[in-house]
Amino acid sequence: MSERSEPAGVPGSGLVKGLAVTLKTMTKRSTTQQYPDVAPELPPRSRGVIALLEENCTVCMLCSRECPDWCIYIDSHKEEVAVPGAARPRQRNVLDRFDIDFSLCMYCGICIEVCPFDALYWSPEFEYAEYDIKDLLHDKEHLGEWMATVPPPPAHDPNGEPAKEETAAARKAAIPAAPAARPTAPPVRPEPAPGGTGEPGDGEGASE
């Protein structure tokens, strides 16, 4: 079998091409962001860290059960609340511990999606590195501080599909309220004539 021989190129042609690329790049304006002196502009849906709104948490444990990494730890206790007018006091769950181990978290967002009371949010905050891996276990106080960095929800697209709540409210407002039913008066019976029995035909004008 005959070996194919590559044609010999001009010596130094590769070096010239590489220097041409370098020269072309040097003439362009640099777009490098000088982090950390200049804060980066993150997309609005960036997944930085999970923030907790403790007032909305009802300790339903859905986020902890659905977490594929089991990195959410929740403890709570019950206390009685006196309700005016109720026969007996009611019980409610009080959150004692809500920790997330970010050394195990894979930022899938399942805990935020399954939360039925909007207690968990995505925050674009990403500067929470630690020297010790044990310090990546953040408690509810630290998670609550990140709520200040949660951006407001984006405005609704006017060309998009309206929310179910808006559709239900519009449908309810379009239905006219049914008028209240008036009480019907009982039928009036005729007064009996004097000397009669009250039956039709009785009275003074009745023939004998």
Binding residues: 57, 60, 63, 67, 105, 108, 111, 115
Residue 10's φ and ψ, nearest 5 degrees, are: -70, 130
Q: Of 190, 186, 192, which is closest to residue 204 (Cα–Cα)?
A: 192
Question: Cα–Cα distances in Å, from 42 out to 16, 47, 123, 131, 151?
Answer: 39, 10, 11, 25, 11
Q: Which residues contribute to the annotated binding site for [4Fe-4S] cluster?
A: 57, 60, 63, 67, 105, 108, 111, 115
Q: Of 97, 107, 106, 93, which is closest to residue 139 (Cα–Cα)?
A: 97
The single residue listed with the structure tokens 């206790």 is: 77
